[in-house]
Amino acid sequence: MSTESNNEAVDVKMMSCASCGIAEVDDIKLKECSDCDLVRYCSDACQENHATQHEVACKKRAAELRDEILFKQPESSYLGDCPICCLPLPLDPTKSTVVSCCSKVVCIGCIHANILRIKEARLDYTCPFCRKPAPKKLERDKRRMKRIEVNDPVALCLEGVEQYGEGNYERSYEYMTRAAEWGSVEAHYKLSLLYYSGQGVEKDMGKKIHHLEEAVIGGHPYARYTLGCDEWNNNNNAERAVKHWIIAATQGDDDSINNLIFAFKQGHVSKDDLAAALRAHQVAVDATKSPQREAAEEYVRSRTRVE
C-alpha cells in the first residue's frame, strides 16, 4: 500500500470514533486519544472500552511523539542571554552570577564592567542591571521571600539550592518541585539528581529520567549529556546516546564533545558527524565570548595568581 493510501486510511479512521464507529457530526464532537494522535473517540466511555485494543499502538506512537520533542534541536541553552550585553550566557556557572536585588543572571563581563565604572566615577556600588544599591542581608532575605511567595522560579530554585547546602533535603525537594512547576529548567535537572540519590525523596529512576527529559526539552545541555550517558551505560543504546551528545555539543557542552570523540573511536560516530559537531561546538563557545568577558576572566586569573 502506498504512503498516500496509508494517509487516506488514517484520515478516514480519524473521522469516526475508534470504538463505536459513530461519525463526527454537528452534535457529536470527537476528541483525540489523550496520549497519541492516531485515533479519536466520541466519549470517555468509548476510550475506556477501546483501551485494550489500542494500548500497543498508542504506546508506540506516544514514544515516537515524545522523541520528536526530545531530539529537537533547541534554539539556545536554557540559560538564555545576559540581560545587559545580550550575548548568550556561558555554560560555566562561574562565569555568571544571580544578582540578589532583581534575580537577574548577569555575565561576569557586565559585572566587571560595572565595577570598573563605579570605581572610575567613585560611586557607591549598584546592581549592573537595575542600578539599585546592593541590599544588606536582612533586606536581601526579605526580597527573596517575597519572590518566593509569588512563585518566582529563579528564587524558588535558588532557595532549593540553599536548603540542599544546609542539609535540608526534603525542603530542597519541595522548593525544587515548585520551581519546576513554574518553569525552572534547572530545577528539573536538580530534581533528577535528588531522585537518583534519594535525598529528600525516595529513589526513583523513572522519575529521574522524566525530570532529565524535561530539562533536556527546556534546553539544558548537561542534562542532555547525562541522558546520553544513561542511554550508553544503562540502555546499551549508542545511537540515542550519540544523538543526545551531538545536540549538547552544539550548545557548547565540552563533556559531550569528549564522549563523541570516544564514540567515534568505537565506531559509533562518523567522521563527518564528529567534524560537524566540533564546528558547531566552537561556534556556540565563540558566541559567549566578548572583550568585556575576557577582561573579567583575566582579572580573576590575576587575582588567583597573587593569592
DSSP string across 87-104: SBPPSSGGGEEE-TTT--
Are 201 and 210 in contact, with CB atoms under 8 Å apart? Answer: no
| Helix, strand, coil content of the chain in percent (nearest 5) | 60, 5, 30
- Own/partner pairs for 16-19, CB < 8 Å, 24+ apart? 16/40, 17/41, 17/42, 17/43, 17/46, 18/46, 18/50, 18/54, 19/46, 19/47, 19/49, 19/50
What global pTM score does this model have? Answer: 0.85
- Please give the full DSSP string across 152-169, using - where no structure is assigned: -HHHHHHHHHHHHHTT-H
Set of cell numbers at residue 261: 570523540
pLDDT at 201: 96
From the first residue on, what is the mean pLDDT of each consecutive set of 10 residues in the chain (307 residues)?
48 79 84 88 91 91 91 91 96 91 91 94 91 84 88 93 96 97 97 97 96 97 97 96 97 97 97 97 96 94 68
Set of cell numbers at residue 287: 558566541
Set of cell numbers at residue 36: 497519541
Q: What is the largest CA-CA distance in the chain?
A: 80
pLDDT at 5: 46
Comparing C-alpha atoms, which of 17, 15, 10 is closest to residue 49? 17
Set of cell numbers at residue 247: 545536540
pLDDT at 254: 97
Comparing C-alpha atoms, which of 47, 38, 117, 128 is closest to residue 83? 128
Set of cell numbers at residue 23: 461519525
Are 41 and 17 in contact, with CB atoms under 8 Å apart? Answer: yes
Comparing C-alpha atoms, which of 230, 247, 231, 227 is closest to residue 239? 231
**Which of 52-80 are b and which e, b meaning 16 or more Cβ less than 10 Å from the residue's Cβ?**
eebeeebeebbeeeeeeebeeebeebbbe
Query: Residue 43: exposed, middle, or buried by beta-carbon count in 10 A (0-12, 13-18, 19+)?
Result: middle
State whether residue 299 is helix, strand or coil.
Answer: helix
pLDDT at 142: 86
